[in-house]
């Protein structure tokens, strides 16, 4: 039981010292610290503990205790008995052009599952699902729990932000991790992701753990260490949890930004999606269908998800979700029509400029991190939680890996407002494109490298 700020001020430094010196925190230590975080201890103390955890790490029992205490720091959702076994979600560790959730959530709903997707906003170079949806006029990601349940019952999927009552400890720690350069800590990532998903009372969770130059994990080994931590803690908290390890160096799809990614997602839901995006959607969805017993094999799950996307069932669910979350019937219907005039509804940036190749060759690589960082500087992203963003800023790739291009071919279109691209930003973008000789082929094939398979 929390006994007041004076007691906290005496004991929190002791706990920080304990972890700083490399000792394991007990379950009681962790519970007391998180309770103090929620009760508004000094921000400097919270940051000091985050850095101690980052530098000294946590053993498995500490990570488990941290995640469980974070989950119990707020409300835990509950669902009707008839939904037993059907409540699922997916989480990505973050990438560039990652709009998988916008396609996958309605596809899973079309397969008869319930998807209470509680998502986040973008921070630094990675985009946030809520920011993408925020480019749709009227789309309300802040829904009370009663409304969330009714949308889930009616539509089958809902994408919302974290409520004040859900895992309040994570909301505080998440904002400070970026400010204290402790984002990459495996125990802190595990606690943040799994506590929120456990508070959703999920039956099954699939994790898209990304690795590569544009991801938090730079190589497969570090991705697997993170994935195994996430899967172990998730399963121990009663969620059937599995992980898929995917490449994240080149952007996913052809669009990076907020409104441009919504457009690409809608085109994908109309059967016109890029192959790499569809591979991720169908694989992650297929894994969840196996986990819930909807299908008996991954290949059958991949086929069913693909049919829901290309056949229009997922598009119908996305349209229904938009209306349920505040978009007008007219706008939702227009966005989902076959010949949609997207920019009649979605804001278009005031200016567009194209970059051209300086030589001929074969497209070997497009550095997603560079593109994301420049777009962030142009206003597409935020540095601090709560900063405003410009939904219209973005980029469109005009070439794909493996394309043969001549000198002077347009390869990238930037959507921007003010300020315009600086010479340094233009130079960085030009350096993001790697061309090879006529006989060269890109190394990347499938985005899926490995997985901890469904059982």
- Say whether 125 is catalytic: no
Using CA of residue 287, residue 142, residue 382, residue 433, what is the dihedral sign? positive
Which of the following is catalytic: 192, 195, 214, 259? Answer: 192
Which residue is listed with tokens 């410009």? 390
Write out the two tokens for 318: 């996305």
Task: State CA 175 to chain mean position distance.
Answer: 16
Phi/psi at 280 (nearest 5 deg)? -65, -45
Using CA of residue 295, residue 190, residue 251, residue 362, what is the dihedral sign? negative
Collect all residues with Cβ–Cβ distance below 8 Å to 389 and sequence separation of at least 6.
122, 131, 258, 379, 380, 381, 382
Write out the two tokens for 267: 């085109």
- Say whether 192 is catalytic: yes
- Say whether 91 is catalytic: yes
User: What does 421-441 look like in DSSP terms, one character per residue?
Assistant: PPHHHHHHHHHTEEEE-TT--
Crossing angle (nearest 10°) for helices 220-236 and 186-199: 40
Which of the following is catalytic: 71, 90, 132, 177? Answer: 177
Burial (CB count <10 Å: 0-12, 13-18, 19+), residue 170: buried
Which of the following is catalytic: 29, 98, 170, 208? Answer: 170
Which of the following is catalytic: 149, 171, 196, 224? Answer: 196
Which of the following is catalytic: 91, 125, 391, 415? Answer: 91
**What b/e sequence results for 114-144 when a residue is b if at least 16 CB atoms lie within 10 Å of its CB, and e otherwise?**
bbbbbbbbbbebbbbbbbbbbbbeebebebe
Peptide bond into 208 cis (omega under 30): no
Residue 23: count other Cβ atoms within 10 Å of its Cβ.
Answer: 12
Collect all residues with Cβ–Cβ distance below 8 Å to 71 and sequence separation of at least 6.
167, 194, 195, 196, 198, 199, 237
β-strands 404-405, 361-366 pairing? antiparallel
Q: Which are the catalytic amino acids?
A: 91, 170, 177, 192, 196
């Amino acid at each position: 039981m929390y006994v007041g700020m004076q007691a906290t001020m005496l004991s929190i430094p002791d706990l920080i010292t304990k972890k700083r010196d490399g000792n394991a925190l007990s379950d009681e230590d962790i519970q007391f610290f998180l309770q103090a975080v929620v009760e508004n201890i000094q921000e400097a103390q919270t940051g000091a503990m985050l850095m101690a955890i980052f530098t000294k790490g946590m053993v498995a029992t500490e990570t488990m205790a941290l995640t469980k205490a974070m989950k119990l720091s707020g409300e835990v959702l509950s669902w009707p008995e008839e939904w037993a076994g059907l409540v699922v979600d997916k989480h990505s560790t973050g990438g560039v052009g990652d709009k998988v959730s916008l396609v996958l959530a309605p596809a899973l709903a079309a397969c008869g599952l319930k998807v209470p997707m509680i998502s986040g906003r973008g921070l630094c170079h990675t985009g946030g699902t809520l920011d993408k949806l925020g480019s749709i006029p009227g789309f309300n990601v802040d829904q009370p729990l009663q409304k969330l349940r009714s949308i889930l019952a009616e539509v089958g999927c809902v994408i919302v932000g974290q409520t004040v009552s859900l895992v309040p400890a994570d909301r505080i720690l998440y904002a400070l991790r970026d400010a204290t350069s402790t984002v990459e800590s495996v125990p802190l990532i595990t606690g943040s992701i799994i506590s929120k998903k456990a508070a959703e009372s999920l039956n099954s969770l699939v994790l898209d753990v990304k690795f590569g130059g544009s991801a938090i994990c730079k190589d497969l080994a570090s991705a697997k260490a993170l994935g195994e931590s996430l899967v172990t803690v998730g399963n121990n908290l009663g969620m059937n949890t599995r992980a898929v390890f995917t490449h994240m160096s080149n952007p996913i799809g052809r669009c990076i930004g907020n409104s441009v990614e919504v457009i690409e997602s809608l085109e994908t839901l109309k059967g016109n999606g890029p192959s790499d995006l569809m591979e991720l959607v169908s694989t992650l969805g297929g894994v969840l269908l196996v986990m819930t017993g909807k299908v008996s094999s991954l290949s059958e799950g991949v086929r069913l998800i693909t049919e829901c996307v290309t056949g229009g069932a997922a598009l119908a669910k996305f349209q229904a979700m938009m209306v349920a979350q505040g978009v007008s019937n007219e706008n939702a219907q227009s966005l989902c029509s076959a010949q949609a005039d997207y920019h009649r509804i979605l804001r278009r940036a005031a200016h567009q400029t194209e970059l051209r190749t300086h030589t001929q060759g074969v497209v070997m690589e497009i550095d997603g991190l560079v593109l994301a960082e420049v777009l962030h500087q142009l206003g597409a992203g935020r540095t601090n939680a709560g900063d405003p963003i410009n939904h219209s800023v973005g980029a469109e790739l005009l070439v794909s890996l493996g394309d043969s291009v001549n000198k002077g071919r347009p390869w990238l279109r930037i959507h921007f407002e003010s300020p315009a691209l600086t010479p340094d930003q233009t130079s960085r973008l030009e350096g993001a494109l790697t061309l090879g000789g006529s006989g060269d082929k890109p190394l990347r094939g499938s985005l899926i490298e490995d997985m901890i398979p469904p059982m």
